[in-house]
């Protein structure tokens, strides 16, 4: 188990270095391509209640997807991190103005207007990750937020969003890790085998 922990730590470090080397232009154009792939994808089009993440500067940005989904009348949720580390909820937003700048200068749902959705009501969750294996296994940042949340979202299809450089042949995982069903990168959408 210790070896697995160290393997995860080493892989996280090397992949995050690749991600942090991307220019703002690369992130913006890659995010636009991801939004185009996602918005024309039948699984997304049929989903009524979708959860997306709010990106760190070097992750694929999904604001265009949020705007598109809200215009299409979908219920959109973003993660609300609880005070207890590792626990999160699905917070409903009705527009981007429902977000405020929170810890680490990242956007978060406004705690004063918080409305939560039961995870089991979600149809589709777009999951961030440090790395994904082609079979859908995911390496996260290590805090366990998604590991604890995803089992409760048992009706949702999961799509991992990442840059193509983050998709590997395999990643070290634990038995409780729930794999994603699909992967989306700037190059398209792939079904995990």
Topology given in CATH for the domain delimited by 2-191: Rossmann fold (3.40.50)
How does residue 2 score in pLDDT terms, banded at 50, 70 and 90? low
CA angle 9, 11, 136 (to 5 degrees): 110
Residues making up the chain, counted from first to last:
193
Domain ranges of the chain: 2-191
Q: For 137-156, how does the pLDDT look when each residue is reduced to its tens digit (9 = 90+)?
A: 999 888 889 999 999 999 99
How does residue 4 score in pLDDT terms, banded at 50, 70 and 90? confident
Q: Angle at which helices 24-39 and 63-71 pack, to 10 degrees?
A: 30
Q: For 123-139, how does the pLDDT look when each residue is reduced to its tens digit (9 = 90+)?
A: 999 999 999 999 999 99
Confidence at residue 142, expressed as pLDDT on a 0 to 100 scale = 83
Confidence at residue 73, expressed as pLDDT on a 0 to 100 scale = 97
Tell me the pTM: 0.93
Confidence at residue 85, expressed as pLDDT on a 0 to 100 scale = 84
Q: For 89-112, how does the pLDDT look when each residue is reduced to its tens digit (9 = 90+)?
A: 999 999 888 999 987 778 889 988
In 72-135, which ranges are continuous DSSP H helix? Answer: none
Distance separating alpha carbons of residues 117 and 128, to the nearest angstrom: 19
């Amino acid at each position: 188990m210790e070896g697995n922990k160290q393997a995860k730590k080493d892989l996280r470090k090397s992949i995050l270095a690749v991600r942090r080397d991307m220019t703002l232009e690369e992130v913006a154009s890659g995010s636009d391509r991801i939004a185009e792939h996602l918005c024309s994808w039948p699984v997304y089009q049929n989903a009524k209640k979708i959860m997306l993440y709010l990106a760190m500067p070097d992750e694929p940005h999904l604001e265009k997807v949020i705007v598109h989904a809200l215009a299409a009348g979908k219920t959109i949720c973003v993660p609300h991190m609880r005070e207890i580390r590792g626990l999160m909820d699905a917070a409903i937003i009705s527009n981007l103005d429902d977000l405020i700048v929170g810890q680490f200068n990242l956007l978060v749902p406004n705690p004063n207007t918080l409305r939560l959705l039961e995870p089991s009501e979600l149809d589709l969750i777009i999951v961030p990750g440090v790395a994904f294996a082609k079979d859908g296994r995911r390496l996260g940042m290590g805090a366990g937020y998604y590991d604890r949340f995803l089992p409760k979202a048992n009706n949702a299809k999961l799509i991992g969003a990442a840059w193509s450089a983050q998709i590997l042949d395999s990643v070290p995982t634990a038995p409780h890790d729930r794999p994603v069903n699909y992967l989306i990168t700037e190059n398209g959408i792939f079904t995990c085998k």
